[in-house]
Structure 1
Amino acid sequence: MPTSLPEHFEDFAEARREGFLRVKELKDKGEKICGAFCQYTPSEIIYAAGLYQVALCGRSPDPIKTAETRLPANLCPLIKASYGHALEESCPYAYFSDVVVGETTCDGKKKMYELLGELKPMQVIHLPNVPDYERSLEMWTEEIRAFAKGLEEKFNVTITDDMLNESIEWCNKERIQAARIYELGKYDPPAITGTKMNDIMEGEQYMFDREAKYNKINEILDQCEKNWHDGIYPYEPDPNRPRLIVSGGGYGGVSAKTINVMEELGGAIVCYEGCCGISSRRRLVDEDRSRDPYVRIAEKYIEVPCAVVSPNYRRMDQVRETIKEWHADGYVSITLHSCNPFAIETENIRRVCEEMDIPLLHIETDFYPGDAGQIRTRIEAFLEMIRMGKEAAHE
């Protein structure tokens, strides 16, 4: 039987809107805000410096026209929306950020930061694009040290090893909890819907009391597990329901016409793989306090298998393991127009899916609603194909 929602679900669904007020309250109290765009941003450094971190990725088409007065029209919509909000001063998170940290995940972002730096104080961290320790770790460690030094100088603070160690342990605790959200999708039927997973992971970025947020998420997860063991499920049990993995980068602005539609049409999103998915949550920072904390932080983040890394064998291994572990029937790759690294990498993911004998659906889109009907039709056909295959297998 379907279940009612755990008490705090709606807190996370509304968190981004409510966060507008919370971030202003922090500023009124004299707190400092660091805006960030990407999972490569070393949160441990930000928190050790005594700053609050907030996500700045644009997800609305509204500021894009403004951004296009200075940026190319054929640029990724996430980059344009992010810059447009800063240019218009239409996003409180960007407006109230005392510093913005950028990371060189793609050429579009890298060049946009030059313009954004005219509007907000910027620190840009240059990423290694080669996925091995010997060639990249030393350079990446120095970039993280430089980032910490920049925050120390700007905010007149000292970041000690003890501060970093405490921050490392807190961030690891939060990652373990976040991984648990996705692990609820392993149940059959899943113990949480994919849309609610997404609500939590989106909303938690805009809740600034970390202790209260941690406790709320725990309550939700405990209730989801209890409901499942009591025979109360978020989906009606159905052996032919397609189990989907969703992947990609920056799909927050397109969830209404992609993620939500997949579940509305009878699919179950069991895990997210990609930028904001299971991968970054399972990679923890070593907590051995006898070692240099900057090296330990660098070791964790250098393993993030972003599409900008080449060759990206680590991500292909991750895709295989995620398909197996979550018993997926289909894989959906969502990429934004002009996001060339993720779009090109979808071809390698397609080959992995063929090897694993599951179908792949690639949706390339932007923040505008004009293609919603076409996407819905493609999702419906994809789900029907999977369902027919499962029905035939069960005969």
Structure 2
Amino acid sequence: MRPKAMEYFDNLIPENMVKIKEQKEQGKNVVGYYCVFTPVELIEASGAIPVGLCATKQDPIAAAEKDLPRNLCPLIKSSYGFAVTDKCPFFHFADVIMAETTCDGKKKMYEYMKDIKPMMVLDIPNSSTYELKREHWVHELKRAKAFLEEKFDTQITEESLQKAIKAHNTERTKLMELVSLNKHNPAPLKGQDLLKVIWARQFQLDRETYLEKIQEIIDEVREFIKNDKSKDDRPRILVTGSPTGVGQEKTLNIIENQGGQVILQEACSGVKGLVKNVPESDDSLTSIAEKYMELPCSCLSPNDGRFDLIGSLVEEYQIDGVVDITLQACHTYNIESKMLKDFLQENYEIPLMQIETDYTDADTEQIKLRVDSFLEILK
């Protein structure tokens, strides 16, 4: 059963590629971003539209490789390729880009991209104590606030920050309500559909309709669950690792086509940024800092939060096995994979399979064989 309301999400991104032009023509400011670390509340509080940028297609990579090395993460090359070819409407209509110093490849690529668009690059503290990290994050948010205020000739007030925080907390809560439906056996939602809904969050330009459509899916699925008496013995899979965006669902497709259930993703394109909200307080910048500094990205050292989150999801969603998707040349996730495998084996006695891949289809048959073997072990 596929919820009827999913049709809205099938078309949301391509339709909004047209609507973003209309927003600009109406005088709206637009801030493009790539990463889950981006404080979208701050952008929205400035009166600008925060919008995700194209980064998950193979098509523009050849153009990127004229400047960037071939043995680089495909996400970085795709991001830059869309920028230099001007084939991403969201990038084209963005006034500025808010970037971040996560991995070394991205922050060096941004040195090229700054010649295409004005940029604000957040310095992500990747190794420090809690107090120093919070202090650093608050400093970076103040710097970003000043940048947006100057760029758009506006003032970001405490009131506008609190309003934006409430709006984005509502989105996160509603998305986690949707994801939690897959605790049911059988999982009523395919992993590919959950990806499509969560990924659309950064491209949606009409929050009210976006939330209404999510609620329609929730209502439809709950009705299905109420009447469903079946059980599904297909292995329940949690996907983690490098972000898997719309346009490169190759591995998710293979897992589900070969007989696995993708229950949810922990990755940046999954629930990693959704499980915690921004605390509501009278000091919104500090509250935003506290939320984003706890995101368990592999660029952090140590990254115990990722293991804790995956462990809780494994128990909560009755996971049988974990698939760790590592994009080619994504060194931080690649190194962390063995640590995660040992952690899952020692604490939960469930296996992990790592798949290192890129955006091409060259390894599709190889991945199929490996997934078949993994699912057979789980059965």
Category of TM-score, reference length = shorter chain: over 0.9
Contact 1:131–1:302 under 8 Å retained in 2: no
> Corresponding residue for 1:263?
256
CA distance in 1 between counterparts of 2:312 and 2:236 reads 15
Contact kept? 1:319, 1:349, Cα under 8 Å:
no
Aligned counterpart for 2:153 among listed residues 156, 166, 174: 156
- 1:328 corresponds to which residue? 319
Is it true that 1:382 corresponds to 2:374 in the alignment? yes
1:143 to 137, 140, 145: 140
Please list every run of 5 or more consecutive structure 1 residues that lacks an aligned counterpart in the other structure. Answer: 388-395
| AA partner of residue 79 (structure 1) | I
Three-state SS of the structure 2 residue aligned to 1:266 is coil
Query: Which residue identity does 1:28 align to in structure 2?
Result: E
Residues 64-88 of structure 1: CA deviation (Å, up to 9, x unaligned) = 1111111111111110110111101
Q: Distance in 2 between matches of 1:131 and 1:185?
A: 36
Q: Which residue of 1 aligns with 2:72?
A: 75
Alignment of 1:288-327 (within 5 A): 288-289=281-282, 292-327=283-318
81, 86, 91: which one aligns with 2:83? 86
Displacement of 1:250 after TM fit? 2.3
Distance apart, 1:131 and its partner CA: 5.7
Q: Give the aligned partner of residue 363 of structure 2.
A: 371
Instruction: Give the aligned partner of residue 109 of structure 1.
Output: 106
Deviation at 1:280, TM superposition (A): 1.8
Residues 244-263 of structure 1: pairs in structure 2 closer than 5 A: 244-252=237-245, 255-263=248-256
Q: 2:174 aligns with which of 168, 173, 177?
A: 177
CA 1:217–1:301 in structure 2 vs 1: closer, same or farther (change >3 Å)?
same
Cα distance in 1 between the residues matched to 2:55 and 2:272: 22
Letter in 1 for 2:85: E
User: For 1:131 and 1:259, how far apart are their aligned partners in 2?
Assistant: 35
- Distance across 1 between alignment mates of 2:326 and 2:247: 10
Displacement, 1:382? 1.0
Report the CA distance between 1:191 and its aligned residue: 2.5
For residue 35 of structure 1, give the secondary structure of its aligned residue in structure 2.
Answer: strand
How far the C-alpha of 1:277 sits from its partner, in A, is 2.2
Q: How far does residue 163 in structure 1 lie from its aligned partner after superposition?
A: 0.3
- Please list the CA deviations of residues 341-373 of structure 1 after superposition, one character each: whole Å capped at 9, or x if unmatched: 111111111011212111111111111111111
Matched, 1:237 2:231: yes
1:347 aligned residue (325, 338, 345): 338
Corresponding residue of 2:15: 18
Matched, 1:44 2:41: yes
Q: Deviations over 1:148-178 (max 9, x none)?
A: 1100000001100000011111111111111
CA contact (8 A) 1:333 1:361 kept: yes
Give the % identical residues: 39
1:90 CA displacement: 1.1
Give 1:284's aligned amino acid: N
Equivalent residue, structure 2, for 1:127: 124
Asked if the contact 2:255–2:261 (Cα under 8 Å) also holds between the matched residues in 1, the reply is yes
TM-score (norm 2): 0.96
Q: 1:6 to 1:131 in 2, by over 3 A?
A: farther
Distance (whole Å) between structure 2 residues aligned to residue 198 and residue 152 of structure 1: 33
Letter in 2 for 1:360: L
Q: Counterparts in 2 of 1:209-224, with a 5 A limit?
A: 209-224=206-221
Match of 1:392 in 2: none
Aligned runs of 1:58-69 on 2, under 5 Å? Answer: 58-69=55-66
Distance 1:361 1:255 in 2: 19
Q: Partner letter of residue 302 of structure 2?
A: P
Task: Give the AA of the match of 1:237.
Answer: K
Residue by residue over 1:207-227, the C-alpha shift from the partner in whole angstroms, topping out at 9 and shown as x without a partner, is 201111111111111211111
1:95 paired with 2:92, answer yes
The equivalent position to 2:275 in structure 1, one of 278, 282, 294, is 282
Match of 1:208 in 2: 205
Q: Given that residues 131 and 311 in structure 1 are in contact (C-alpha distance below 8 angstroms), is that contact kept between their aligned partners in structure 2?
A: no
Q: CA RMSD in A?
A: 1.4
In structure 2, stretches of 5+ residues that fail to align are none
Cα distance in 1, alignment partners of residues 111 and 188 from structure 2: 44
Contact 1:254 1:366 in 2 (8 A): no
Is 1:34 paired with 2:21? Answer: no
Q: Secondary structure at the match of 1:18?
A: helix
* Whole-angstrom CA distance in 2 between matches of 1:283 and 1:226: 27
Q: Assess if the C-alpha contact under 8 Å between 1:57 and 1:78 holds in 2.
A: no
Whether the 8 Å contact between 2:244 and 2:269 is mirrored in structure 1 is: no
The answer as to whether partners of 1:257 and 1:376 remain within 8 angstroms in 2 is: no
2:195, 2:246 within 8 Å by CA — same for their partners in 1? no
8 Å Cα contact 2:28-2:48 kept in structure 1: yes
**What secondary structure, in the 3-state scheme, does the structure 1 residue paired with 2:240 have?**
strand
Q: Is the 8 A contact 1:36 1:102 kept in 2?
A: yes
Q: What is the rounded CA distance, in whole Å, between the counterparts of 2:268 and 2:15 in structure 1? A: 24
Deviation of the 1:203 alpha carbon? 2.4
SS in 2 for 1:124: strand
Query: Residue 252 of structure 1 aligns to a residue in which SS?
Result: coil
Q: How far off its partner does 1:57 sit?
A: 4.3
What SS does the aligned partner of 2:90 have? Answer: helix
